[in-house]
Structure 1
Amino acid sequence: MRKRWKKFLLCTVFAVLLVPVLAAPAMATGDVAGAIQSTWTTAQGQIRTVVDNVVFPVIDMILAILFFVKLGTAYFDYKKHGQFEFTAPAILFACLIFMMTAPLYIWTIL
């Protein structure tokens, strides 16, 4: 029983002395802002490609479909009531133009 206790005590002392030595590199302070900036610089091209080739066209397609659907419903309302409501189609058209031209200037802002 005494041998086990000595072994346990020796292992505990060894672990207590060894942990700070091994943990020192993990606790080292570094330049977090520089790491984030270098990661952003590395990934910026890939993010830009995905956004330009996938995100903007999907948003453009959704806005185009909404614009033509709203234009059709506004026309049918005009046939039914005799008054053309152009506010909603005009807003959707402006949003569509804004999103179609967004890849030209969005990357200079970011």
Structure 2
Amino acid sequence: MKMKRLMMLVCVAALTACVFCVPAYAANGDVAGAIEGTWNTASEQIKTVVNNVVFPAIDLILAVFFFAKLGTAYFDYRKHGQFEWAGPAILFACLVFTLTAPLYVWQILGM
């Protein structure tokens, strides 16, 4: 019974992959041209998604970690009398880097 269910799942997954598969045809056997055309079309969508979703998500996570680390560093300062700057400074530098990354990362990657 378990093997039958597993085979049914594999068949459904294969059928789903076949249904959603989009063929890319190369005119006159020009496979490189077809791949370049697909990449040129997809690269703009990739840029949009990365600029509007990925970088803001990373910025949000780094901002939360930065303020949490700043708070814990302050409480350590109150407890021990010495403020540790390394953790908050590294997180702040990473936050500045990711906030400004959309301005220059695409020129570095050549897109």
TM-score norm. by structure 2 comes to 0.70
In structure 2, what is the equivalent of residue 10 of structure 1?
none
Mapping of residues 75-90 of structure 1, within 5 Å: 75-90=74-89
What SS is found at the alignment partner of 1:84? coil
| Number of residue pairs the alignment of both structures matches | 82
| 2:48 aligned with 1:52 | no
Larger Rg: 1
Distance, in Å, in 1 between the alignment partners of 2:87 and 2:79 is 18
Runs of 4+ in 1 over 4 A off after TM superposition: none
In structure 2, what is the equivalent of residue 9 of structure 1?
none
What SS is found at the alignment partner of 2:29? coil
| 2:92 aligned with 1:93 | yes
Q: Deviations over 1:46-97 (max 9, x none)?
A: 1111111000000000000000000000000000000000001000000000
> Which sections of structure 2, spanning at least 5 residues, go unmatched?
1-27
| 2:24 aligned with 1:38 | no
Distance, in Å, in 1 between the alignment partners of 2:75 and 2:52 is 35
Q: Percent identity?
A: 73
Q: CA RMSD in A?
A: 1.3
What SS is found at the alignment partner of 2:84? coil
> Which sections of structure 1, spanning at least 5 residues, go unmatched?
1-28
